């Protein structure tokens, strides 16, 4: 097996553990609430703390990666996640849990920026769409593992055991990165040759921000399904368990379709067509959900159609960033993402309250998918018009 595929396997495992740790609080929530004595608002805040540092740490994390190297920063991030998980496991108060969750979240932000940059280094100019598709599927895979296992483990043992388990998984991930990861030799040579390059160019900043907006619109639209589809389904007669099972189908199908879609995108060499086609399908499917007689058909459709463009979207930054600027560029990418996703998910919830309709968030999610097509067209237009220009570094 070629080195880059071994590297990708390691990155996939590490990012899977990141998703597992994110899911841990939600999976043990009944036991945690009963023991610590909090309400669901504070539980939601504790869950959200995992991403809260993103807006503030993503760009500095990317700059740290550029200065000190992606491997040291990734190892440092995993140390934070390990300690954070252990603090959660040792906590017996809500305040103590907040500290642990913040540490885990800060580590996950730094790690996420580095993992994407690492994959881009090894696969740029090769199977970049496939590699990004595989890497992105690891997050929902980790969440899905957590959904089916962590709650049962907490019931058999304690919720603290689950937290210590995720800390142990982070520690194992740290060892994997330390032992198996090495920088791409191609990027090392390129970085040495271009060491005089002072920083991100205006063109890189512009295109990375547009690419981040595309990724944000997709995720906000996707999150409308697990967040609000169960509410819609129960409003039309489904049981809570039945609604949850139906919605989970989207996640499981999307894990497979992300990887298959990445492979097909590169084999067919028509990423633009696949992007537009799948986003049209996503938008149409979500807008039809409130009016379709058999939701099962549309949920299967959405699970299959939402995966293929993921690798294409995550390959966009690698198309425009110079190798030596990928760490800072991905930090900028995720800074906008973490800031904007919280705004859009809040607006999605607001549509439910404002209209008093369980279908409103799904319709809004469908509109976000259509909007992403327009932003993608803008990205390609700007990419073509600025090619070979605006290469002067910005002070940002």
Query: What SS3 state is found at 199?
Result: coil
Q: Supply the pTM of this predicted model.
A: 0.82
Residue pLDDT, tens place only, 322-351? 988 888 999 999 999 988 887 888 888 888
- Are 136 and 239 contained in the same domain? no
Residue 130 CB burial class (10 angstroms; 0-12, 13-18, ≥19): buried
Task: Calculate ∠ Cα 270-125-213, nearest 5°.
Answer: 65
More confident residue, 225 or 90: 90
Give the three-class secondary structure for 367: helix
Q: pLDDT tens, 65-77?
A: 988 999 999 999 9
Residues 134 and 239 in one domain: no
Residues paired with residue 393 on neighbouring β-strands, in sequence order: 201
335 lies in some domain = yes
DSSP string, 9-42: HHHHHHHHHHHHHHHHHHHTHHHHHHHH---HHH
Residue at which a domain ends, from 181, 211, 230: 181
Q: What's residue 388's pLDDT?
A: 64
| Domains of the chain: total | 2
For residue 311, the enclosing domain spans: 202-385
Local structure of 393: helix, strand or coil: strand
- Same domain? For 246 and 106 the reply is no
Output the average pLDDT for the chain: 89
Does residue 380 form part of some domain?
yes
Q: Are residues 85 and 207 in the same domain?
A: no
User: 364 and 218 in one domain?
Assistant: yes
Residue 311: how many CB atoms within 10 A of its CB?
29
């Amino acid at each position: 097996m070629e080195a880059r595929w071994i590297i990708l396997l390691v990155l996939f495992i590490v990012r899977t553990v990141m998703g597992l740790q994110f899911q841990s609080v939600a999976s043990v929530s009944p036991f945690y609430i009963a023991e610590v004595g909090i309400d669901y608002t504070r539980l939601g805040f504790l869950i959200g703390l995992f991403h809260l540092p993103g807006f503030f740490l993503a760009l500095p994390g990317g700059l740290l990666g550029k200065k000190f190297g992606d491997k040291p920063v990734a190892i440092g991030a995993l140390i934070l996640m390990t300690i954070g998980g252990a603090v959660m496991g040792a906590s017996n108060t809500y305040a103590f849990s907040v500290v642990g969750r913040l540490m885990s979240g800060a580590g996950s932000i730094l790690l996420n920026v580095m993992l994407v940059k690492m994959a881009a280094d090894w696969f740029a100019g090769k199977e970049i769409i496939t590699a990004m598709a595989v890497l992105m599927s690891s997050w929902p895979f980790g969440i899905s593992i957590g959904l089916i296992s962590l709650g049962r483990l907490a019931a058999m043992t304690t919720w603290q055991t689950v937290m210590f388990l995720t800390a142990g998984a982070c520690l194992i991930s740290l060892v994997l990165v330390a032992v198996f990861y090495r920088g791409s030799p191609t990027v090392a040579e390129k970085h040495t040759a271009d060491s005089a390059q002072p920083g991100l160019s205006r063109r890189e900043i512009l295109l990375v921000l547009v690419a981040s907006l595309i990724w944000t619109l997709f995720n906000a639209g996707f999150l409308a399904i697990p967040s609000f589809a169960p509410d819609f389904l129960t409003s039309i007669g489904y049981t809570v368990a039945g609604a949850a099972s139906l919605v989970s189908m989207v996640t499981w199908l999307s894990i497979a379709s992300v990887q298959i879609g990445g492979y097909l995108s590169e084999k067919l060499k028509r990423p633009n067509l696949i992007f537009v086609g799948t986003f049209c399908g996503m938008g149409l499917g979500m807008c039809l959900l409130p009016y379709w007689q058999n939701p099962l058909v549309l949920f299967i459709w959405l699970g299959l159609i939402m995966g293929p463009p993921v690798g294409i979207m995550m390959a966009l930054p690698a198309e425009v960033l110079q190798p030596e600027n990928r760490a800072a560029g991905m930090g900028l990418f995720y800074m906008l993402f973490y800031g904007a996703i919280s705004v859009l998910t809040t607006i999605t919830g607001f549509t439910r309250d404002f209209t008093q309709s369980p279908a409103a968030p799904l319709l809004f999610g469908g509109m976000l998918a259509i909007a992403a097509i327009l932003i993608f067209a803008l990205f390609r237009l700007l990419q073509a018009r600025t090619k070979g220009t605006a290469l002067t570094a910005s002070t940002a």
